[in-house]
Amino acid sequence: MDEQDYTLFEDYLLKALSETEKEAFETRLSTDPAFKQRFNTYKELSAFLEHTFENEAASTDFKNNLKAISSKHFKKQQATKKGIQFKPWQYAMAASIALLIGITLFNKLSHPVYADYANYDSISLTVRGNEDGLLKTAENAFNKKDFAKAEVAFKELLLTDEKNSELQFYRGVTNIELNNFAMADWLLKGLKDGHSVYKTKATYYLALSKLKQKQYDAAVEILKTIPDEAEEHKLAQKLIKKLD
Partner 1 sequence: MSEKKLHDDQKYIDGLVQNNAFIIEAIYDKFAPKVINYIKQNSGDSDQAQDIIQDTLITIYNQASEKKLELTCPFDAYFFLLCKRKWLNELKKTSNKEVTIKEDILYKGEDAHELAFETDLYGEKHALFTEMFNKLGTACKELLAATFKIKSMEEVAESLGVTYAYARKKKSLCIGKLTELVRESPKFNLLNK
Q: Using CB under 8 A, list all residues that contact partner 1.
A: 1, 3, 5-7, 9-11, 37-38, 41-42, 44-56, 58-59, 61-63, 65-67, 69-71, 73-74, 77-78, 155, 158-159, 162, 182-183, 186-187
Radius of gyration of the chain (CA): 27
CB 69 to partner 1: min, Å: 5
CB 170 to partner 1: min, Å: 15
Spatial contact of 204 and 188, defined as CB atoms under 8 Å apart: no
> Cα–Cα distance between 208 and 185 in angstroms, integer?
10
* Closest of 176, 182, 190, 183 to residue 119, by C-alpha: 176
State the DSSP code for 184: H
CB 41 to partner 1: min, Å: 5
Q: Which is nearer to partner 1, 80 or 122 (CB)?
A: 80
- Counting Cα atoms < 13 Å in the Cβ hemisphere of 130 gives 5
CB 102 to partner 1: min, Å: 31
Phi, psi torsion values for 180, nearest 5 degrees? -90, 75
Q: Which is nearer to partner 1, 62 or 120 (CB)?
A: 62
Q: Which is nearer to partner 1, 188 or 220 (CB)?
A: 188
| E strand intervals along 80-231 | none
CB 243 to partner 1: min, Å: 28
| E strand intervals along the chain | none
Q: Which is nearer to partner 1, 162 or 244 (CB)?
A: 162
Q: Which is nearer to partner 1, 165 or 220 (CB)?
A: 165
